[in-house]
Amino acid sequence: MFRTLRRDVQVVFERDPAAKNLLEVLLCYPGLHAICMHRIAHTFYRWRCFTLARLISHLSRFLTGIEIHPGARIGEGFFIDHGLGVVIGETAEIGKNVTIYQGVTLGGTGKEKGKRHPTIRDNVVISAGAKILGSFEVGENSKIGAGSVVLKPVPPNCTVVGVPGKIVRRDGQRVDTIDLRHDELPDPVAEALSAMQARIIELEAKLARLEERQVGGDKNLGGL
């Protein structure tokens, strides 16, 4: 337990440049508090003390603004930055070294029993406000853009943006370190508008050349 707690504290310093010292992290990081309380609640959940587990989870939500169902399985190195409004469902599974930001939901899509929440593999970054809904996997080293709504499986090493979420980058190369630059995601709408603008400029140039030729031809006919 203490080794896991040490790792949970360590990842705060690794991924948040605002963290100044150990006392600040222990006292002022609701994401860390939520994770610690979840690990306690999850232990009682595995012991089938469901009411006590839910009570601890409920208290954690009240104190931190982060709701993690005690049945969710979370690996080492999990980091919640800011965290307000984060919701993680009962059958969600989160791998190692995953980072999520405020407003993220790992939810289900119905009242079906059994596995109904997503599985997040290692080294995934989920940006602010993203919603991942359903029982499917998000592959390792992938990034989910801010505000995206993901409803289908995501292969490893992908970047997903939009509503509904679309894969806009898949390089097939494994990422050795966790990339937290979730502000540098491609914008497919802006790229499409830029392509249209470039095409319009090209067509206008062609039209101008045709008009010049037409004017030149009219002059030659006038000279005759």
- Overall average pLDDT of the 29-49 stretch: 95
Per residue in 133-149, pLDDT (tens digit) is 999 999 999 999 999 99
What are the C-alpha distances in Å from 27 to residues 9, 21, 58? 11, 10, 20
Say how many Å lie between the first and final Cα of the chain, rounded. Answer: 98
Q: Is the pLDDT of residue 105 over 50?
A: yes
Confidence band, pLDDT 50/70/90 cuts, at residue 180: low
Q: How far apart are CA 53 and CA 74, in angstroms?
A: 15
The pLDDT confidence band at residue 172, using thresholds 50, 70 and 90, is low
Q: Among 28-32, 60-64, 111-115, which stretch is predicted with the lowest mean pLDDT?
A: 111-115
Give backbone dihedrals phi and psi of 163, rounded to 5 degrees, phi first: -130, 110
Distance CA 85, CA 218 (A): 70
pLDDT in tens, 147-170: 999 999 999 999 999 888 888 888
Per the model's pLDDT, the better-predicted residue between 176 and 92 turns out to be 92
Residue 191 has pLDDT above 90, yes or no: no
Residue 184 — very low, low, confident or very high, per pLDDT cuts 50/70/90?
A: low
Distance CA 58, CA 163 (A): 31
Per-residue pLDDT, averaged over 206-222, amounts to: 75
The pair of structure tokens assigned to 61 is 């939500």
- The Cα–Cα gap between 5 and 33 comes to 10
Sort 73 into a burial class: Cβ within 10 Å, 0-12 / 13-18 / 19+: middle
Q: Is the pLDDT of residue 113 over 90?
A: no
